[in-house]
Structure 1
Amino acid sequence: MYAPMSESRRSASVEVPAQIEFDEVEMGLLTDQEEERPLIGSEGDEGLGGKGVATDTDKWAVACLLLQHVSSTFTAACYDFASFLFLIEVFKDTLVPASLVGLFTKLTGLLLSGYVGGLVDRVRRLRLVRLAIGAEKSFKLANYSLFLGTKLVLHGCVKADDGSVLFGPLRPYAQAAFHGDASPLIVGATWTILVLTVAFSSLLGLANTAMTVAIERDWVITIARNDPPALTKLNTNIRRIDLLSKLIAPLFVSVLSTFGGYIFATTILLLWVAATCAAEYFWVEVVYRRFPVLAEGEEAKALTRLPAAPTSSDSRLPSMWSQAGKWWKRERGDWAEFVRLPIFASSISIAVIYLTTLSYDGTFIAYIKAARGWDDAFIALMRGLCVVTGLIGTWVMPRLETSIGLERAGAWSIW
């Protein structure tokens, strides 16, 4: 669960535990009238950024905000799809490596997402987003480099019959090495790469959390805080970008792997991540500079600093216990507050769906590829079909709400 936001922002949004997504509901609540309204407030409104009449500057800044989100979500969707395909291509007889990546990514997010989300209230906006972008790109580059670099590391130690597949020379030995049935060098190399992949994926999940909280839960709300229709429109466009990225990215990865092989696909994805890093830095800089409202309250953040860690070895352990106690009290208070909210029951209902309904996540992709033998293109098409049904739901939802009411529409959707 994300840490509570400052009082000035809490009125604008209420955070719920991680892994529970309500963005689809937000977009589904759009009416036809709201769809027809312009993204930028018209004359007489305070408009985006509280600057009054809409200007070309606003439009350019909003375009940069959406471009950054397109780049970030598309790159993330490519990684989410490709990383599990790559792992199962190497470890064909087991789902354990892919499951470890999924397990530790979710577990790390559960334990640390509250702290990461709380950085929004303690770190300057532009600095936090820059750090999140840098972390995202670094961890993706690191994992893609691991996939590609194994051939160079083990060159001369293992004879490979071809270099057109993922992990180069490790491919013929990775399955046996995973179970310990190989030379110590190969076993050590295989497990080192796997552990690093799990670690980088977990840290990447935290960076994605920081980016989501900073942009979607802070920047967007702050920019459009005096223009509710514009806020709805921004949230809608962001959600559509998310869905379209999930639709297009798997197809893009499958085309690369089908026609060029896994090393070719990994190389293209690595170059794409590197190329978009500078572009995203530029876009967030434009948004921050052209919406002065984002700079409000930054001085107060600059004065907020965490207490310095004790230098004495004798006082270090009590300090750690003190910090752990504070963290536990904060988390307990957050959950107690959440339980009292009217949306608690519906949140639990949505969360239970994830326990009872198959989701096209990485573990499921690994299963159907390993156990069923489906090729990458077919898996991508099936996942794309799931995204299309999600887009259809955003069209059906406002009509159901008009016909039978919001609560009944939600109940029917759960059933």
Structure 2
Amino acid sequence: MDTTAILDQQNQPQHESSTYSLVKYLYAGHFLARWGARMWEFSVGLYMVSIWPDTLLFAAIYGAVESSSIALFGSIIGQWVDRLTYVKVLQIWLVTQNFSFIVAGGAVVALLTFTTLKSTDISTFIFLLILTNIAGAVGVLSTLAGTILIEREWVVVLSEGHPPGFLTQMNSVIRRIDLSCKLLAPVITGFIISFVSLKASAIALALWTTVTIWVEYWLFMSVYNRIPALGESSLKRISRNSPQDVEEITYASEESKSLLPPEENTTSVTKSRRRKAIEWVSNLPCIGAWKVYLQQEVVLPGVALALLYFTVLR
């Protein structure tokens, strides 16, 4: 047997054991990130109802803003994640998610503390409500970016070179972590609200995100720095999305247009204005993503599931 093959067989168990230990860091960071998101997801409805107990309008507005932000900007977030390096996406994700929850928690604390704002200073009251909605929407979008990065990118890269069941196991553990946070975070938040106050739960959320952002970043960067495959995959993505080819194509098309006679050039430009406008609208990320979705085989089941959600919400 070749000496290199023997060395590879001896080093493989060590490589697998180090990967397994680093995957635990990934699980811990994912737990901290999802716990904060689930705390806010459960609490925001109670905050909005308590701000003006006589109506559910503010809670409905927040839900509409959050859902519409995902529908309009979700595809843009996906393209943005695909174009940037893993480290850059990680940094922007953690900073925007935690900072948005801190801002939203601070705005909610102000609204709950100064309960007379809606009658004495309506402009400040509306400003805090708008700030809460915008911060919540940014937090949801950043959470989506983190979900794409960890669950769609890192997990796949970490499973390369391992048995097929390793990817399934990682996906199941990450899913269980998310479901556990969705189950337990409302329980803990409910205890704080019941035995202390709503204001205390908002302060606890802001403090949680302030402290855990540093731990999350350290955990994720430990995984990234100690697994070379993540850095290699990040470089491949950047080289694949290099704009050099696009610039060359654009330059070639402009040069070919300049070779046309002036009359033909002017006529072609005039005729293509409407076409370009239509193409520009159809190529918008929020519209292009729906076009891709409508071409899939799961369109009808997805519509059926959406109608089921409408039925439940009624």
Please tell me the TM-score bracket, short chain as reference: 0.7 to 0.9
Matches within 5 A, 1:220-369: 220-226=155-161, 227-302=163-238, 304=242, 325-326=279-280, 328-329=282-283, 331=285, 334-358=289-313
Counterpart Cα distance in 2 of 1:285 and 1:323 = 43
Deviation at 1:82, TM superposition (A): 1.3
Query: What is the match of residue 262 of structure 2?
Result: none
Counterpart Cα distance in 2 of 1:210 and 1:326 = 25
Deviation at 1:356, TM superposition (A): 1.7
For 1:343-375, what per-residue CA distance to the aligned partner results, in whole angstroms no more than 9, with x for missing partners? 3333333233222224xxxxx9xxxxxxxxxxx
Segments of structure 1 that go 5 or more residues without pairing to the other structure are 1-45, 151-165, 309-320, 359-363, 365-415
1:122 touches 1:305 (CA, 8 Å); kept in 2? no
1:141 touches 1:270 (CA, 8 Å); kept in 2? yes
For 1:7-45, what per-residue CA distance to the aligned partner results, in whole angstroms no more than 9, with x for missing partners? xxxxxxxxxxxxxxxxxxxxxxxxxxxxxxxxxxxxxxx
Q: CA 1:334–1:194 in structure 2 vs 1: closer, same or farther (change >3 Å)?
A: closer
More divergent stretch after superposition (201-210 vs 225-234): 225-234
Deviation at 1:257, TM superposition (A): 1.2
Counterpart Cα distance in 1 of 2:278 and 2:231 = 32
1:203 aligns with 2:203: no
2:101 touches 2:205 (CA, 8 Å); kept in 1? no
Q: 1:117 aligns with which of 43, 57, 78?
A: 78
Q: 1:106 aligns with which of 67, 73, 83?
A: 67
Amino acid at match of 1:55: E
Two-structure CA RMSD over aligned residues (Å): 2.7
Counterpart Cα distance in 2 of 1:56 and 1:86 = 45
Query: What is the match of residue 188 of structure 1?
Result: 123
Counterpart Cα distance in 2 of 1:340 and 1:140 = 36
Amino acid at match of 1:59: Y
More divergent stretch after superposition (330-339 vs 75-84): 330-339
Counterpart Cα distance in 1 of 2:229 and 2:71 = 32
Q: Which has the larger radius of gyration?
A: 2
Corresponding residue pairs, total? 272
* Structure whose residues are more often helix by fraction: 2
* TM-score, reference length from structure 2: 0.78
1:132 aligns with 2:67: no
SS in 1 for 2:207: helix
Counterpart Cα distance in 1 of 2:20 and 2:277 = 44
Amino acid at match of 1:216: E
Counterpart Cα distance in 2 of 1:68 and 1:305 = 33
Counterpart Cα distance in 2 of 1:353 and 1:52 = 49
Query: What is the match of residue 32 of structure 2?
Result: 71
1:123 touches 1:302 (CA, 8 Å); kept in 2? yes
Amino acid at match of 2:144: T
Deviation at 1:336, TM superposition (A): 4.2
Q: CA 1:259–1:322 in structure 2 vs 1: closer, same or farther (change >3 Å)?
A: farther
Identical positions, percent: 22
Counterpart Cα distance in 2 of 1:333 and 1:353 = 25
Amino acid at match of 1:254: G
Deviation at 1:206, TM superposition (A): 1.0
* TM-score, reference length from structure 1: 0.60
Q: CA 1:90–1:242 in structure 2 vs 1: closer, same or farther (change >3 Å)?
A: same
Q: 2:153 aligns with which of 218, 223, 243?
A: 218
Counterpart Cα distance in 2 of 1:322 and 1:101 = 36
Segments of structure 2 that go 5 or more residues without pairing to the other structure are 1-7, 248-274
More divergent stretch after superposition (205-214 vs 337-346): 337-346
For 1:230-266, what per-residue CA distance to the aligned partner results, in whole angstroms no more than 9, with x for missing partners? 1111111111111111110111011111111122222
Counterpart Cα distance in 2 of 1:104 and 1:325 = 28
SS in 2 for 1:167: helix
